[in-house]
Structure 1
């Protein structure tokens, strides 16, 4: 029966639909209402903040304007303008007044003064002023605003500083962004112009005031003038600046038109996935507007967090509904589902499942009959399985027995050669080593640890070193985390013997054997044997690699029974590895030639969970 038609599936689907739809509707409505509330709250809070900042900027500009009135507070300043440059006392008094203005405003970068009466320009940027005679003021200090109806004082928007026509003190002095307050100096109460004063101001105070209005990582702040040119901009980058200026200009014009006055305008608008809150300053000579941009992701961050919290609560509620539904469904369909699980386990190969159903209804009777049937089947399978195990055990012992004659022949020949060359005490030591090896090879255990197998290989190579002397170099490098891995007994020695059988006696020069192990993953290790003997002929190597590939892909041992009698060591190793490996984790053996000569054997063994 398909799971889509089961009672449990239908019950769960009904409960989920009945619970999910109201929860989703509630979360959606809560998110919309929260967004609206946060939007109104953010607009109100930011309007208050920006209004306070506009007041501070107004006060700042007014303070600079009041500081510039020092030219009228000093009764001698206007007379001194006509005396310079001939009167050095007048020059000093004018310099003192300018320094007073500079000291009254902390952000003054430089001051420029031009006297129309004396045709002299003065620039104060450092403690030492610069002066030179000029027939007219530097043009950028006036900007065409000295006409008959132009204001006596105005603020020039942000621009790069310059030296008003004077030679720079240093070519390395970089220009900086400044705003400039211009004041026309008149011989009050008449309208005769005596000079013009320009005060260049750093952006430090403006930046300090604006920095308290926004988070540089998430928001943006602008101060723009009446022509929508940016005076100050925060650090973060925001796209759509041109559209922002145009939209702000339209909003400000609409605000002025709606009120019918030029008083300060404030408001907000949405554009480019952001909220913009603006406030116009009330200064008569600095037509500035502060605009703050708040991205929607920042504006509605709390709403998003609240929605996620509601979603977590909804998920918890859904889980509770699922648990309750499962509990009810188990009470109704539990015995039938349990019997189906037993059947699935038996189908997967677990034939000894303990079937226990205590219900007294028809399902319970069916389960008991099914259990009796499985007991009968298991008894039949058990007899066949024991026969198969006995056959495999006999086959394994036969494979191990093939190794012993080959091993004894090579070893006894080596010890015989040593007995002719050395005294009896040394022969006794070697025979002791041989006895340990024989005792190891005759153990009843079919599986040993790599630590034991490595020790057995060391004893064997020690005997061979006695035979070959300085002509044989041995390196053993077994990683500590591989030594507990189990493998069939007498796995390494047949692989090592191939070198002494096929290459040690005919090889010129010094022989070399290296055996190492390492862990390639959590569940596999690699054992590598290298020697510098003669390479295997290509035809023979292809043959060996062919039947190794056949062994790796074969599901049983039948593919190996018809192999020729050559490469006994390799075949025995692979057969024993296949008998002792889980079917899904069969060991792999690779053999290849090394350049310029030598043979390398790699053995990959499953190390268990």
Structure 2
């Protein structure tokens, strides 16, 4: 009956989950469709308002920029001197110099001026200064075709004596002047007339590069697939961000931006474009931005996605609550099962939380008691094992008691001395000194004590290798009292004997050096043995990176020394190996702070 009830309950839970899921999907789906329609309309309004405000700010900067540029183009002071200089420029050198100075003042007054040209009408020549030349100096040239240019005629007929022309679609022949139209986007032309007769004496033209214009247009913050164009009040384009886009759209500038409504201007690819524009306060410039429908309804789509996400979250929460309710009874059994699994894989510290007084709580209590008893048994066996190992170590320690060894070696030395065998006496004494050094307490010794121990050690090795073993010392006297780890240098010497002297038949010289450097102390042991192969060297370096517990047979000495240095002196201490053919150098590097026992140094 219990199993049947459990099965029925699970089927009912599935029905409830499906029913609630359907209701939630229906409600959230309906609300999402309604909210998406509303959000699309609001998104259109917000996008238009935000874009118009941004265009207004950018267009105001453009308006101020053009207004400032046209203010300084006409001489505000000493206007008569300019007229007189134009009339006498071919007769008086000072008049010519004055005109050149006037052009220089204009040229260097603004950072975005590409070139300044002054055309003297009756002389058919012009003065000019431009960045396009290697040297920025005033030059004079003759060109009789300039008066036939369209901009020249319009500048003469302009009542305001000012004409600004776009270079966006112009060619070099339309300009007439030797100016690089690829670097300039606009030119200002102004006629210089006499005060009384209003006779035009010259036309001054200033060409502006894109430096300041690009800084202003950057504030428009164009997103991908958005485009912008700047028109004059005569609907002449002075800037567009993508020439290919505007040329392919074949837009009618007189129709675009006529009313305040946002209108569709056409499609390009998968995008439908709308225009949003702003007219400057002075009525001179119109800035139009073209945005896609995707950008306009981006917020609406995001809101729709959020609604779907919220609905999905509600659905998950509902299913979770139902699942938690139906599994309230089986949860304690699941916990008990999980703890038993942990216990079966060796975790003896688990404890099952006990709640209530039902059968499950009783089973949990018995399981906790079983774990406690198991831990007690394991602890007793572990302690017994430690006692056994301690006893074995005590026995071994008694067998190799240092006093026993010293007495035995002393007896051998006395016997050899009575037999007049001096070599054996020296070897036994050296061995006794070596053992005494190894067994004496303390991990730190002075460098001179370590070197004395090495001498005794080498007495034994010379008895083995004879004249093939040669030793040299190069020790800085300041370092003789330096405290170092016991048997550290001896480990390096032993390494040279094992991997150099034992593997060759020729004489091997082992050099022991100790020097002070800016970084610390360096103790080196060098030999002229066969060197270390690259594979073996890489293997040893890998051992240095491992933990001491993961040591491998064959390189325990160097790995042990490397680990001891790291533990005592920090990460800056290390064992470094350099090797070549017939050369091996093993260094102990101790960082600053390791010489506090050396007197007479400020290290």
TM-score under structure 1 normalisation? 0.47
